[in-house]
Amino acid sequence: MMSRTMAEAQLPKRVDAGKLVDSNQQFTAYIDSANLERLNDAVVRCDEPIHCQMVFERGTDRKRVLTGSFHTNVVMCCQRCLGDVTIPLQGEYKLGFVLNDEQAKALPRQLEPVELDEDGKLDLWSTIEDEVLLSLPNFPMHPESECQIMQPEPEPDYTDSDVNRVNPFDVLAKLKQK
């Protein structure tokens, strides 16, 4: 069967996964990141859309599969200098469609389960948002050469001659003389 490709456009929020697999549909599309609430809560900001490529197909074992990739840039808080750092994100995924936990357990190990709703529909935005969230770094940081760490001014070193310190044992010496 010939596959069809959709030109880059806004990715639909919900799709009929079974029909897309049966027609071997391919998408090159984007999701406006402003629509992804969980992603926006996890980062300082996400100014760019998430670009996605995906293929709905049957796997070698005839399971319905979604294979794809994504890329975008997000701004996070650098854990070294606490300034904004732009983090490029990209990832690949291979998902198997399931309706319940038993089907999820029966999937081959190379497939991650994604549950369809009772109508066989898939929430694409939520699925891609999950993959993007999983790709966020635990400790985002600038490269060390670019990090603007605010270091305090070093205090000047004082020598004994610079500061007249009272010897605490002088009191004992005076008591001993009495």
Question: Is position 28 within any domain?
Answer: yes
Question: Is position 176 within any domain?
Answer: no
Question: Is position 65 within any domain?
Answer: yes
Question: Is position 96 within any domain?
Answer: yes
The set of long-range contacts for 16-20, using a CB threshold of 8 Å and a minimum separation of 24, is 16/119, 16/120, 16/121, 16/122, 17/56, 17/64, 17/66, 17/97, 17/116, 17/120, 17/121, 17/122, 18/64, 18/97, 18/120, 20/56
Task: Name the residue range of residue 96's domain.
Answer: 4-144
- Residue range 121-133, pLDDT digits in tens: 999 999 999 999 9
- Residues 84 and 66: their CA atoms lie apart, in Å, by 34
Token pair recorded at residue 87: 């983090």
- Looking at residue 158, what is its pLDDT? 62
Token pair recorded at residue 113: 């389960």
**How confident is the model over 77-97, as a mean pLDDT?**
94
pTM (2 d.p.): 0.76
Instruction: Specify the number of domains making up the chain.
Output: 1
- Looking at residue 47, what is its pLDDT? 87
Question: Is position 150 within any domain?
Answer: no
**How confident is the model over 4-28, as a mean pLDDT?**
82
Calculate what percentage of the chain has a pLDDT beyond 90.
61
Question: Is position 171 within any domain?
Answer: no
Task: Yes or no: say if 66 and 114 are a contact pair by the CB < 8 Å rule.
Answer: yes
Question: Quick check: 165 pLDDT over 80?
Answer: no
Question: Is position 157 within any domain?
Answer: no
Split at pLDDT 50, 70, 90, the class of 2 is very low
Split at pLDDT 50, 70, 90, the class of 145 is confident
Question: Is position 161 within any domain?
Answer: no
